[in-house]
Amino acid sequence: MSPCFYPLPPFVTEEAKNEQERVANDSLLKKQLDQKWRTLDQFEASLRKLEAHKLQWKAKYAIKEGELEAAKVCPLSFPSPSQPFSNAQSGEDTPNMAHTSSMNQLTPSPEQPT
């Protein structure tokens, strides 16, 4: 004996349609929520990256501040504009500097009477 299949009553098919629509709507909402979470994760990652750059710049700034304070305390450790950097720190005179000092000794300055 085979089971007898009767047509389903209309309220059952209506409930099935409603359930299908609800499931489709839920999956759509889930996709939207996942997209929002991904966007939020990307934003948080960019904030972490920005914070890392900020810390790097703060460290560089602190180093430069220290160098500036050291220069204010001991200005003689830096060369004058007429001295090149490489020889000024070692204390050696370059030929141009020796020539300039000998020229200064030969020519009188405007303040000194001749």
CA gap 85, 111 in Å, rounded: 30
What secondary structure does DSSP assign to 59-110, as a single string? Answer: HHHHHHHHHHHHHHH-GGGSPPTTS-HHHHHHTPPPHHHHHHHHHHHHSPPT
- Per residue of the chain (114 residues), give pLDDT as tens: 456 666 666 666 777 778 888 888 888 889 999 999 999 999 999 999 999 999 999 999 999 999 999 888 886 655 566 665 555 455 555 555 555 555 555 555 556 555
0.85 exceeded by the pTM? no
Q: How many residues does the chain have?
A: 114
